Each structure stands twice: as structure tokens, then as C-alpha cells.
Amino acid sequence: GLRSIPSLSCFRRLRYLWINNNKIQDLTFLIKNYCLTELYLNNNELTDISGALKQLRALQILLLHNNQLKQLGKTVKELKGMISLQTLNLFHNPLAEDPDYRLYVIYFLPSVQLLDRKAVTQREREAALHLFNHERSWVMQSIAFGRTVNTPLGTIVGSSRCTQPARRLTLPSVWKHSDNVLLLSSLCRVPFENPEDAVLLRAMARSLMEFSCVDWNKVATCQERRLENKVTKPHKKLTILFR
């Protein structure tokens, strides 16, 4: 039932603090507790945390669920400096009713791995990037950064989690075919809904590179070729074609 707590600044090395299940509305008593790594503030009456937690850069676990936090932008801004924050709970707050709430938190707090008791997935990170940084998302999809397609060209990658037939690649309307060459208008840059489509299309449009290697130890020198008794062996050339 605590409504206020005196300053804890004398406990400079305090690392873990449980003050959940109270009626706390003000967090100014934590201003100098820089070593805190776990802070449990759930089930209180907090309406705003602006200016109260941003100095706690060592926090790894922060539970704020079941409070009265209303402003998503201000709340997330307060937590941006916590580069070690991995576990965060904000559910059962008015701000969690925002339609883009989860993706907003995932994008602006990239260190968080467990949000509202649910692990953050790579698909959610990609969706958050596409929603809040559309230009960068398009660039990453257009160059297929960090992805590979382990199937022959002309086939489509299917999900490894299902046994359904592979889906055909559906190109945006801005893509045009001309002599089997894919052209994209520079004015119409539409990102793909499925990143695998961007990877495949990138692979199909990529130019060919050819590398050849020869074991020069088995190639006769000009002096050896002049010797009549020298048996020449045909050298082997290995050529590899990359797309």
C-alpha cells in the first residue's frame, strides 16, 4: 500500500528492487541508483515516467505492467538509453491499446528480446522496420541483404514449416518483362511483402561471373615443351559460374 518512498540514493550499488503491488505514483526516489539491473514496478499507479528512469542505463529487466501509463511516445523515449534492456512489460496500460504499440516498442527499443512475456521475432522486427523506416526497409529488401536462396533459379522457396506446394513469385505491377530481363521503373519502388521474393528476384536479375583456375604445376614450361622426350599432359581447367 505504499504511496511514496524516500530517496534510495544512499544505496549506490543497489541492483535488484521489487516495489510492485503498491500505489506508487512518483519515481524520483530512483534518480541516483545507476547500478539497477532489475526493477519491478508492476501493479502500481504510475501515470508518467518521464525524467525518472532514463539514467538507469544498466537496466536489463523492467516490469511496468498494470499501471496507468498513457503516452506511448514519452514512455518509450524515456527507455531509449537503456541499451541493455532485454525484458520489458507494458501490458495492461492505456498506451498498450495503440494499434501499432508492439511494433513501435520493438523498433525504438531494439535491445528488447522479451516484450509483454512474448519473445520478439525476426518477422516482427522486419515489420517494425517497414512501418517506421520504410525507405531503409525498401533498400534492405532490394539488395537482399543477409539472405541466401538455396534453390535452383526459377523455383520458389517454400516455408520450411509446412508441406504445402511452393508459392509462385508474384511481381508488383511496376515490374515489366522484356526479353526475359526484369526492368524496374526508378520512380516506382514497391517493397515486397515477402522478403524471399526480393531475394529470388535479385538472384534472377544478378549478372553472371565466371572464375577459372588451373594447377600451374602440371602445365609444361616453354623449356620443357622444347624437350622431345618430355611427355606433355593435358592440363585441367576448372571453371565455376556464379550468378
Locate the domains of the chain by residue range. Answer: 16-139, 204-242
Strand partners, 119: 114
d(CA 95, CA 8): 28
Pairwise pLDDT comparison (211 vs 163), residue with the higher score: 211
In CATH, which superfamily holds the domain spanning 16-139? Ribonuclease Inhibitor (3.80.10.10)
pLDDT band (50, 70, 90) for residue 176: very low
Up-side HSE of residue 18: CA atoms within 13 Å toward CB?
A: 1
d(CA 233, CA 230): 9
Pairwise pLDDT comparison (240 vs 87), residue with the higher score: 87
**220: which 3 cell numbers?**
609444361
**N-terminal to C-terminal alpha carbon distance within the chain:** 67
DSSP label at residue 157: P
Amino acid 147: pLDDT? 43
Averaged pLDDT for residues 149-153: 39
The tens digit of pLDDT for each residue in 67-113 reads 999 999 999 999 998 999 999 999 999 999 999 999 999 999 999 99
- CA 110, 112, 116, 119 torsion: positive or negative? positive
d(CA 79, CA 71): 13
CB 62 within 8 A of CB 79: yes
